[in-house]
Chain A
Amino acid sequence: MRTIKFLLQKEFLQIFRNKSMLPIIFVMPVIQLVVLSFAATYELKEVDMHLVDFDRSGVSRQLVTKMQASGYFTLRSQSANVEEGITDIRRNKVQLVLVIPPHFERDLRSGRPASVQMNIDAVDGATAGLIQAYGRSIIQDFDAGIRPDVEEVRGGGPGGIDIIPASWYNPNLDYIKYMVPGILVVLVAMIGMFLSGMNIVREREIGTIEQLNVTPIRRYQFMLGKLLPFWIIALFELALGLLIARFGFDIPFVGSVWLLFGIAGIFMLVVQGLGLLISTVTHTQQQAMFIAWFLMVIFILMGGLFTPIESMPVWARELTLFNPMAHFIKIMRMVLLKGAGWNEIQHLAGLLALMAAVILPAAVFRYRKSTG
């Protein structure tokens, strides 16, 4: 225990003395959070829409007006032919073809299920997800009885059309509320994945690790010494990020923040464990960086940050089981936005704990104090 105290003291002294490290740790994440969050929202300011209104009723007109009034959708063209709209998508003139079927008003008035169809340009999956989310919530806000059918149109080829079921916890049309929790996860994950492991590889490159390896220091002590400082820093940064989210972006904290921190602690062990594991199989910072980035990009792209996991193909959805980031992003959104408690997230938290329990010992075990 005393050994670890000395190691922590050393690491913190070095971290706070490193002039390039401080901005990486404290300033960059803040900037990233702010810029990324705004950039992510900005994408959906102007969606050009083609309208095919078969109903031509008062209600259908009201719906279209409401969509326009939201400020996100601009009516570019209309016709009585869905094909014409799809052609417009293919020519990049519009990104959305809204089809209101005949008898829309009648069905709605009589309480029968009514549906509208959203044909979305799905070449840019992230924007498609946004259009879908916004469109869906506007329509359902207009009348909860309407079932929006979503179809993807792929700009280039003949394009398979499939229906995406999506579940959003964010009824207030605020995409930023959806993005910020996810971006926070990415930020702490980056600290975890890069800093601990890179720190070890750096010591290996400079040669200082040799002096440590010739002492009777235990492997787990050494690893804890590398793990804990960045664990603490990441949680501190999460707190900072949450403050910005709360007061800068007005993100609601519906659920328990303590629960969130508890899970974040476990999540950090997983990503840091991966970073440490990478450090045990690499010799240079370059190699370590490359592998860490490779994993990171996969985690982000397949973690449901931009594209909802529900809209991924089945094989990809099954792979997210092994993606700690997917779990934590989900937990983050569920707890922050939906107010989920321990009961709703325990299976995800369990998965994270299991990953930590496998990866951390593996990293300690893989670490060699002597060269073979």
Chain B
Amino acid sequence: MNELIIEAQNLTRKFGDFTAVDHITFDVGRGEIFGFLGANGAGKTTAMRMLTGLLSPTAGEARVAGYDVASQAEQIKQEIGYMSQKFSLYGDLTVYENIRLYGGIYGLGDEEIRKKSAELVEMLQMEALRDKRVGALPLGWKQKLAFSVALIHEPKIVFMDEPTGGVDPITRRQFWEQIYKVAEEGTTVFVTTHYMDEAEYCDRVSIMVDGRMDALGSPAELKKQFEAEDIEQVFIKLARGADRDEG
């Protein structure tokens, strides 16, 4: 891996005396597809929220795109895109209006916004839905829209929190095709999932159990290390020691 774009050292987050993320240390190289695997409640979202500057760490440190998450969160925000686990675009605005709003906030010019939204709508094959209110769309389409809004300003890194959660297998495939395309263009992709098969699509995966990062490596490396046939087995071996499962 050449240039490091995310570096986390002992990153920790407590809620009261509950430790949601427990001293995780890892780094991500530019252009990598980095997967965060873990059961519900393992701490994936919490870790991602710290990296995106939405949540301050309790201890440890992390740098994203060269900026410190604790003190330079606002600089980080210019460089990243974020697709949250819970759909958080405006249901009472249309597809186009959502794209325009975020394009505008990220400082794109009118011409750029027009071009970009035409491009995105086409890429998503959503031409017919351009002027539909987002709230009325099926979840899969909402997720696709959230995905493209996260990319509208061509960020260096895109964080995606369970982008494929609750969508049908076909849409999942499409998502991963898009993720590959984005990564090929040089964007770093940081993605969480609890679908084990998706881990195989990542360059490297880390497996979180009870807030700790118990394994880290390429899918091949992990399978070798844990003498497993697939990531699912790796995960089962690790999860035996887990206390937390909220799923």
Contacts and interface: CB of A to CB of B under 8 A. Distances in A.
Interface of A: 2-3, 5-7, 9-10, 13-14, 17-18, 206-217, 369-372
A6 B104 contact: yes
Contact of B82 (A5, A214, A370, A371): A214
B93 A13 contact: yes
Contacts of A216: 74, 77-78, 105-107
A151 B56 CA distance: 63
B92 A17 contact: yes
Contacts of A207: 84, 86-88
Interface residues of B, number: 29
Q: What 3 pairs between A and B have smallest CB-CB spacing?
A: A6-B104, A214-B82, A211-B88
B73 A370 contact: yes
Contacts of A213: 54
Contacts of B102: 211, 215
A2 B106 contact: no
B14 to A, nearest CB: 12
Given A17-B92, A207-B87, A371-B55, 6 more contacts: A7-B101, A10-B90, A10-B97, A14-B92, A216-B78, A371-B56
Nearest to A368: B56
Contact of A210 (B54, B78, B90, B106): B54
B89 interface: yes
Contacts of A371: 49, 54-56
A369 B73 contact: yes
Contacts, number: 80
Contacts of A18: 92
A6 B100 CA distance: 8
Contacts of B80: 214
Main secondary structure of the interface of A (DSSP, over half): helix
Interface string B119-132: 00000000000000
A41 B233 CA distance: 79
Nearest to B113: A6
A217 B105 contact: yes
B53 A370 contact: yes
Given A10-B97, A207-B86, A208-B89, A215 B54 contact: no
Nearest to B97: A13
Contact of B105 (A6, A208, A369): A6
A346 to B, nearest CB: 40
A206 B56 CA distance: 21
B52 interface: yes
Most buried by B among A18, A206, A211, A372: A211
Contacts of B78: 216
Interface in B127-168: 149
Given A370-B53, A370-B73, A210 B88 contact: yes
Nearest to B74: A216
Contacts of A214: 52-54, 77, 80, 82, 84
B3 to A, nearest CB: 22
A219 to B, nearest CB: 10
A211 B77 contact: no
A9 B101 contact: yes
Contacts of B82: 211, 214
